[in-house]
Every structure is written in C-alpha cells, then in structure tokens.
Amino acid sequence: MAGVLANHRGIEATGLGPVAAQGNENAERQSTTSSGESGQYQRIKAYLDSLPLIDMHEHLRAFDQLPGYVETDQGRGMNLYGLWAGSYLQRIAKLTPWEPKEPFEKWWAREQKDFVNVRATGFYRYLWLALHDLYGVDFDRITDKQAAELNRRIFENYRNPQWLYQVLLKKANIKLLVCDRYWERFNFRSDYPFEFLTFNVTTLVWGFHPSEFNTSLHPGQIMGPLDDPYLFAQKRGLPLNSLDDYLALLDVMFVTAKKGDAICLKTTQAYERTLRFEDVPKERAVKAFGRPRSELTAEQIKDFEDFIMWRLVELSAKHEMPFQIHTGDAKLAGSNPTQLLNLIEANPRTKFELFHGGYPWVSETGAIAMRHGDHVWINAVWLPTISFTMAKRAFHEWLEVVSSNRIVWGGDDTSAEGIYGETELTRRCLAEVLAEKMYQGELTEEHARQIGKNILWDNALELYPRLKERL
C-alpha cells in the first residue's frame, strides 16, 4: 500500500474505549504530496467515516459457527491463529497449523516465520490494519509479550456476540450488510437484524442429477442438505422428474428466497468454469437431465449449465432480484467479465452486478458498465483488499467512465476483524481517489462528498429498495 496521503481515523473517537497508542505512526498513510491535498484527504476521509455503510457482500455465519474457532488450552474459542487462518492470507501463504490445546507461545514460536514474505501484500495489510485499529497493536513490530496479550484479548472478545455487533455496527459503521451463505445456500432466514441474504444459485446449474450435490464431485464448493435443490423439492412435495419440473422448481425457489431475506442472486461459477454461457436450445439441455455425470460428455454437461444459467438470468429479471456475479480472479482463463457480454446484451431487463470490479480486468468492467449503463453495476467488493493500488486506479477510472450511481461496494469476509479491515480499506481508497480528483480540480468538495455517499450508501438503496425495510 504505497501511501499518498495521511489517515487519522481516531481509535478513541469510535467509542470502543482507549487502546494503546503504539504503532500509530505506521497506520498513517504518509503524505508525499502537498499539505493542501493532505488537508483535502483529511476532510473527505472524516466525512466518509461519518457515514453509515451499506455493505453489499460478506460471509457472516451465526456467531457460534464463525470459522476460526479452535481448541485452545482455555477451551474452544477464537484466537490469533483462528483470525489469520480465516483470513485471505491463507490464499498466498500457508500458516503453521494450530495443534489442539497447545499453549499459545508454542504455536507463536513456530508461526512468526510465516509472515516474513507477505508484509507488503494486501491479504496481510488488511488484517494488520484491523489489529491496529481494534487492538492498538502494530503487528509488523509485535513482541512475544504483546502477541500473547493480543491472543488473550481475541479469545475474550469472542466469548460474547457483542464483540461482533460492536465492531461491525460501531467501529466499521455498517448499518446493513448482504450475506452470501455459500455453505447453506437455500436457508433464506438471516441470523442478524442488520443482515439481508443473497440467493446463491451457484450449484443450480448442476441440477441434471441428484448425485451432483456432493462436495466430492465439486471440491471447490461446500455442499450440504441446504444446498441441494432435490431435497428442497422433496421437502415441499414437488415432482422432479423432468427438465420442466426442474424449471418449475427454480421458479418456486425464487419465490421462497424472496419471501425470506434474500434480495439478490449470487454465483461463483467463475471458480468452476468459463463465464461464457451459450444460449443453448432446450432440446440439448433435456438430453442431460436425469443422467449422472458419468454418463454424460463434458459438452452435454456444459450445455445443461449454460441453459440453466440463461434461465436464472431471466428469472432474475422476472423476480426483480439483481444478479451478483463473481468475475475476475478465479479460473483466470475464463473469468474475464467480457465473457458475460452475450448474456448481458441479450438480457437488458436483468440487473447485473459485476463483482470484484472484474479484477484484474477492472478497465473491461468499466467499459461494460459504460456500454450497458442502464442495467450493469460495478461492485468493488474485495478489490481494495486484493490490491489497494489497483482499487485506486479502478475507482479513478470508473468514476470517469460511468455515472457514480452505478458503483457499489462490499467487504467479503468472515470475521469481525476481517470485515472491519475491508471496510476501512475501502473508505481510505475512496477518500484518496476523491481527494486526488479534488486536488486536480476535477471535483468540488461538495461533489466529492456526494460521490462518496453514493457509493457507500445511496446506490445500494436505489438498486435494492427492500433494504429500506430495516432502516
């Protein structure tokens, strides 16, 4: 995170009580430009800090099921290992495993080497930021004694769900969030009063046979009883003997999701296959229905997936549930958002939300949103955490090519600390971009504020009027 401007998000000012001041100098994004720009940054950042947020994407489980709980020598709970293990750092570095019930010091002695090569990465920096702001710890310079104390405080915090509420609602200033339950896709009741849900349709393209709903066939996906459309149908006494039955079931699922707390669709098929979905005639999809994978060719399976994806996109319009699609960083060969152009062009009534700004294809995402500005939104979710530098470039560019009401954002995390880190990085990123545009004379301060508020709050309400139910 090469710094341009300074940041002074006051720890005391956020109402969680005093924390150690140690490490503060490191948290500031050092000013390398004029004090005028820095002053503009301070003002716009303070304004963004004052705004409540609508966070369009997290993966928040019920408090007692949060990932990261381990057997400590004090019993089951969250600890420093659990936080890092549940973080995105695991994507780029392997952490030393935790041995059940071992004393913290034993793990810590083995662990520290894991951080040596990742200090500059986004997946380290975002949790560094959270540990700094929430615990007053500078993880870059942490001593053994401080690490043990940090571990103890994390364990204590996670004995009480209030910690989650305090961090999300007070520190991060989140008012509402949308949770993507990729572990229980067809459970449409939210766990938290501030939470709406996605209807995660990732697995539905595999509905040609009941044997598909099994993690061993799809190791990249978690699948249990609440991810299986055949069980969904069975529970409700719905027949499922033909492709027409399956299509009718999809419609019922949409109605059920909407009656529950789901407000949008979500797919992560980009982790499984190319995002190019052909408009396959029904006769070809029929051939796959009712047959297990072992009896089908790869082409027949793709035909079925493509056919169902098109139906999901149509149902998205019919039931007025915008479609959040993971684009970019997944199966890289097929996840460029331009792969979706045929679907987007043929379905002008469907509202598409392109996730992660299509990273690394952020310019392509901007161009798609510019071309299809009436039904495509850019979601910057996760991008400032992946690469702060890329996120800054993306916000600069997107604000130049699309109306500022087409950009929304989200976190994409599982713990209080992770969600805090992601939201704070987004605010910083946006504040730096807006301050730079002000400094260059491209935005008045008033207009910069309005754009910031659009992205963090207004645009979500415009796209999802149902969010107002909980305001």
Binding stretches for Zn ion (CB under 5 A): 412
Residue located via tokens 């969250």: 78
Closer to Zn ion by Cβ: residue 88 or 124: 88
Nearest-approach distance from CB 420 to Zn ion, in angstroms: 16
Closer to Zn ion by Cβ: residue 55 or 306: 55
Nearest-approach distance from CB 253 to Zn ion, in angstroms: 21
Nearest-approach distance from CB 268 to Zn ion, in angstroms: 7
1 residue type, one letter: M
Asked if residue 219 has a cis previous peptide bond (ω within 30° of 0), the answer is no
Q: Are 186 and 249 in contact (CB under 8 A)?
A: no
How many whole angstroms separate alpha carbon 456 and alpha carbon 372?
A: 22
Closer to Zn ion by Cβ: residue 303 or 412: 412
Closer to Zn ion by Cβ: residue 330 or 433: 330
Nearest-approach distance from CB 401 to Zn ion, in angstroms: 25
Closer to Zn ion by Cβ: residue 412 or 458: 412
Closer to Zn ion by Cβ: residue 111 or 412: 412
Nearest-approach distance from CB 295 to Zn ion, in angstroms: 33
Nearest-approach distance from CB 330 to Zn ion, in angstroms: 11
Nearest-approach distance from CB 329 to Zn ion, in angstroms: 11
Which of these, 157, 130, 131, 158, lies nearest to 142 by C-alpha position? 131
Closer to Zn ion by Cβ: residue 5 or 197: 197
CB nearest Zn ion: which residue?
412
Nearest-approach distance from CB 58 to Zn ion, in angstroms: 8
Its sign, for the CA torsion 161, 427, 424, 19, is negative
Alpha helices in 334-409 (DSSP H): 341-346, 362-371, 383-386, 388-401
How many whole angstroms separate alpha carbon 129 and alpha carbon 388?
A: 13
Q: Are 403 and 25 in contact (CB under 8 A)?
A: no
Tokens read off for 95: 């952490």
Q: How far apart are the first and last CA of the chain?
A: 35
SS3 of 122, please? helix
Give pairs for 147-152: CB < 8 Å, separation 24+. 147/80, 147/104, 147/108, 148/104, 148/105, 148/108, 150/80, 151/79, 151/80, 151/104, 151/108, 152/104
SS3 of 69, please? coil
Closer to Zn ion by Cβ: residue 306 or 412: 412
